[in-house]
Amino acid sequence: MGRVANKVAFITGGASGLGKATAEMMAREGAKVVIADRNVEGAEAVARQIGPAAIAVALDVTNEQQWIAALDATEAAFGGLNVLVHSAGVGVLKSVEDISVEEWNFVHAVNLDGPFLGNKHAIPRMKAHAPGSIIIISSVSGIIAGHNMSAYNTSKAAARMLAKTTALHCAKRGYNIRCNSVHPTFIDTPMVQSMLVAGGDPAKVRQKLESQVPLGRLGEPDDVAYCILYLASDESKFVTGAEFVLDGGITAQ
């Protein structure tokens, strides 16, 4: 216990899925957590569940002014910021030929512009409370492509590179802020559950997804949260610009 004691962690998409699991784990390990989500009611429910060590803030990650307001609220509540976790994400299962410009822009706005805006406005605050750690949840789809994932693939690949350029920027400036990316495969979250339903027969779609994973199952949210916890903690103080693949062996094939 206490692996991130006395740290303040800001988590986007914290109302559900990987963000929620990460917030709960961070709090159990001693951090004060900020649950940021456009689903304010959901964020508030998670904060109440965690208790006094958590607050909820409204955040559309594509909105620069909301980022500034949410980070201001973080500093007002907890006096600083040490960890930033970019968990908010969206996907559209369409090929490069079928996706609309509006869908393309939306996916990139959430998955890429969101982390960019967060890093831009969080880094000046984090360097005053170093050491700091930024974790971008990308995807195995940012490393390997799918025929019907044009916007998701490209946005997650760009997020991977954003982590690396941010890591080098902070290292060159001597900020003592690290930045890394995490690349999960299918994790049993509401986003994947919606994919199962959209496929028509959830049981068959789940079986198909599991058959692609050498370990033979979908990942669990805590499988990812434990990796994020390591990257948020001082245990990973020499790790920056790296990518952590949590794919049950998919990319080893």
Are 231 and 86 within 8 A, CB to CB? no
Q: Per residue, what are the HEC states of the chain? A: CCCCCCCEEEEECCCCHHHHHHHHHHHHCCCEEEEEECCHHHHHHHHHHHCCCEEEEECCCCCHHHHHHHHHHHHHHHCCCCEEEECCCCCCCCCCCCCCHHHHHHHHHHHHHHHHHHHHHHHHHHHHHCCEEEEEECCHHHCCCCCCCHHHHHHHHHHHHHHHHHHHHHHHHCCCEEEEEEEECCECCHHHHHHHHHCCCHHHHHHHHHHCCCCCCCECHHHHHHHHHHHHCHHHCCCCCCEEEECCCHHHC
Give phi and psi for 139, each to the nearest 5: -170, 155
Strands lying side by side in the sheet with 243-246: 54-58, 32-37, 8-12, 83-86, 132-137, 177-184, 243-246
Residue 175 known to be catalytic: no
Single out the catalytic residue among 152, 175, 226, 230: 152
Which residues are identified as catalytic?
Answer: 152
